[in-house]
Amino acid sequence: MSKRIAFFPEAAFGPALNSVGIAQAVEARGHKAVFLSDPGFVEVYEEYGFEAHPVNLSEPMPPEQMAKFWEDFINGHIPNFRKSPIDQIDNYVKDCWGAIVDSAKWAEKDLPGVLAKIEPDLICIDNVILFPAIKQYGKPWVRIISCSENEIEDETIPPHLSGCGENDYDCHRAFRERFNEVIKPIHDDYNSFLAQTGEEPYPLGQFFEPSPYLNLLLYPEQVKFKRSKPLDPNLFQYLEGCVRKEAPYKVPEFKKNNKGPLVYVSFGSLGAGDTDLLKRIISTLASSRFRVLVNVGDYIDSYTDIPLNVVIDSWYPQPSVIEQSDAVIHHGGNNSFTECLYFGTPAIIMPYVWDGHDNATRVQETGHGFKMPRYDWTDEQLIAKIEECLSDRTMQDKLQTTSKHMQAQCGTEKAATLLERLLKR
């Protein structure tokens, strides 16, 4: 019997497109997928053919202005991208959590009415904070963890957002202590909001809880952390990646290096605002033997005199591009992270915020790529790292093993199976 499954990702392309992949799989099985959406993202889901219902996550404003909220937020923090993860707690991380808590408060005004209108049989939420109306709706709800898997904490693994090494316990402790110290006023405010909705307060540092029905994590087996308390497989399932179906991409002809290795560069829709960095990378690779595709987001008018071995665009069907690339330079977003693993493509991660720090550390710890500082590098160092991605046979073999494992699992289909099983139960 056909069911109505609602998806509620946060207002960022990583979670949004991950949910699109799962929604495509459930619709292929005859179910109806609908989206609860920040008003600025409604068109994103509609372009993929899905019904989308706006939920205000801030003071109502025109959709164009809403869509630019996080873009402007990120661009205002570009000076903080040079700082270490622990030094970002006092600025970017604090401001981000404040905005996230505000979004949960605003959503509570709209969610009950929207849920009553669409009457979902199941709700999938990909966010880092609890929306009480989802939990209280009376239907099963699934938590999707599309960020690094350490969003589900364990005392022996690096804390979320820290970028700490797996066994660097001094780093773990220092980050947790500083995070809890800085975040406490925001956390107290959120607990007051929870009390108003009839929910119990969360321990310091926690803004969400696992679903009692099902929790889906993206990380594949080969990069999972070793936990002191293994996650219950009845409640936690790893999707081994979750790559959406995208339109095919035909690599263009290049006026120079047309047979050279293909390098794809993308810092995501939000990171594209760091135009100085992208221009520097383009300049560095102009004299290389590579062909280069660069995602410049909404800032394409900021670029002139593009080298003959470089093509820029405001958007690419990323999975289709990564599949054809020889190496990828990205920011560490979890979709980019898992897509490179899925297609066996080595990655150089230059993180700037959020789980990019964790994924950059993890890609290097597990031998699937390299972590590089975002700004402190020379032209020679960047080109040498790309060459190493292409020549390191141990890395290439490991990537191929991981890719075969992930493609055999097919995360979107696995998610659809688990959701159907939950609905039947």
pLDDT in tens, 147-176: 899 999 999 999 999 999 999 999 999 999
Q: What is the average pLDDT score of the chain?
A: 94
Please report the beta strands in 30-146, taking only residues with DSSP state E, as ranges in sequence order: 32-37, 51-54, 122-126, 141-145
Beta-carbon-side half-sphere exposure of residue 249 (alpha carbons within 13 Å): 18
Secondary element (H or E) of residue 283: helix 275-286
Q: Report whether pLDDT(29) > 80.
A: yes
Closest CA to 124 of 139, 113, 104, 102: 139
Class of domain 4-84+103-160+206-240+410-424: alpha beta
Distance (Å, whole) CA 361 – CA 363: 6
- Distances 238 to 7, 146, 217, 235, 300 between C-alpha atoms, Å: 18, 11, 5, 10, 37
Distance (Å, whole) CA 346 – CA 370: 8
pTM: 0.92
Q: Report whether pLDDT(389) > 70.
A: yes
Band of pLDDT at residue 66, cut at 50, 70 and 90:
low
- CATH 1.10.645.10 fits domain 262-407: no
Residue range(s) of every CATH 3.40.50.2000 domain in the chain: 4-84+103-160+206-240+410-424, 262-407
67 vs 261, more confident? 261
